[in-house]
Amino acid sequence: MDEHIADPRFAAFYGLLVVEWRISERLDAELQASAGLSLSRLELLMQLHFKEGRRRMSDLADALLLSRGGATRLVARAEEDGLVTREIPSDDRRATYAVLTAAGQAAAERAYPAYVEIVQRLFHDFVDDEETEVLVRVWNRVLEANGMTCGPVNHAAQALTARD
In 3-state terms, what secondary structure has residue 105? helix
d(CA 115, CA 139): 22
Please report, in tens digits, the pLDDT of each residue of the chain (164 residues total). Answer: 566 778 899 999 999 999 999 999 999 999 999 999 999 999 999 999 989 999 999 999 888 888 889 999 999 999 999 999 999 988 888 889 999 999 999 999 999 999 999 999 999 999 999 999 999 999 999 999 999 888 889 999 999 999 98
Give the predicted TM-score (pTM) of the model. 0.87
d(CA 110, CA 104): 10
CATH of domain 2-126: 1.10.10.10
What is the reported pLDDT for 94? 87
Q: For 125, which DSSP code? A: G
Contact 92, 26 (CB under 8 A): no
What is the reported pLDDT for 68? 87
For the chain, domain boundaries? 2-126, 127-164
> Rg of the Cα trace of the chain?
18
